[in-house]
Amino acid sequence: MNQSLLLTLAGPDKPGLVHDLANHISSCGGNWQQSRLSHLNGHFAGVVDITVAESQRPAFESGLVGLRDSGLQITVYDAAEKAAASPENLHHARIAVVGNDRPGIVASISQALALHAVNVEELQSDVADAPMASGALFQGNFVVSYATTSQLDKAQAEIESLAHDLMIDIKPEDA
């Protein structure tokens, strides 16, 4: 019987890191299902969902020592018990937010979403020099899920009320 495992990874980035991980998973008969991997500030960070035969799990986990010795921090979670099932009728939207950067901007936006039961499923963000002004520009791209259009509308109004310099663009994916 196969087990579903979720791996979180972080450490100094170097060429071949993904290959080393993929090779180890494959050598234990595991199968790479899904992943989100990124290079951030000179470091490698990621989440990988794999399946491995129950009989191979001890060998898989003990074989992670080599990767850990290279500086990679790895945590293995048993993903057999999935998080509470989401209702089937959820809608999805993409939200792009751009504005002057400041401490707490992600906390404020995520609070506005959470207050209206809008769940953040993915977030990619960056801070860059503002091209026409001094200072830094925050850019965030969210993928969210929600049950009703009114939840999304209320969250949008809440985000827009955070600051006069935030621009927000919401595109429902299933409308």
Say whether both 101 and 158 belong to one domain.
yes
Q: What angle do CA 128, 132, 137 make, to 5 degrees?
A: 25
Look at 162 and 19; give whichever has higher pLDDT. 19
Token pair recorded at residue 3: 């087990």
pLDDT, tens digit, for every residue of 49-103? Answer: 999 999 999 999 999 998 999 899 999 999 876 655 556 789 999 999 998 899 9
The predicted pLDDT at position 175 comes to 52
pLDDT, tens digit, for every residue of 9-48? Answer: 999 999 999 999 999 999 999 999 999 999 999 999 999 9
Residue 137 lies in a domain: yes
Q: Which of 56, 94, 99, 60 is nearest to 76 (CA)?
A: 60
CA–CA distance from 166 to each of 21, 102, 144, 158 (Å)? 40, 11, 18, 11
CA–CA distance from 33 to each of 69, 124, 173 (Å)? 25, 21, 24
pLDDT value at 118 more than 60: yes
Residue 104 lies in a domain: yes
Say whether both 70 and 124 belong to one domain.
no
Residue 141 lies in a domain: yes
Domain boundary among 36, 51, 78: 78
Residue 85 lies in a domain: no
Q: Which of 9, 5, 10 is nearest to 77 (CA)?
A: 5
């290079």: which residue's tokens?
39
Structural domain including 100 reads 91-172
pLDDT, tens digit, for every residue of 120-150? Answer: 999 999 999 877 777 899 999 999 999 999 9
Say whether both 167 and 100 belong to one domain.
yes
């491995």: which residue's tokens?
52
Residue 20 lies in a domain: yes
The predicted pLDDT at position 83 comes to 56
Neighbours of 60 (CB within 10 A): 21
The predicted pLDDT at position 94 comes to 96
Confidence band of 104 (pLDDT split at 50, 70, 90)? very high
Whether the Cβ atoms of residue 55 and residue 1 lie closer than 8 Å to each other:
no
The predicted pLDDT at position 84 comes to 54
Domain boundary among 31, 51, 78: 78
The number of distinct structural domains making up the chain is 2
CATH number at 71 reads 3.30.70.260
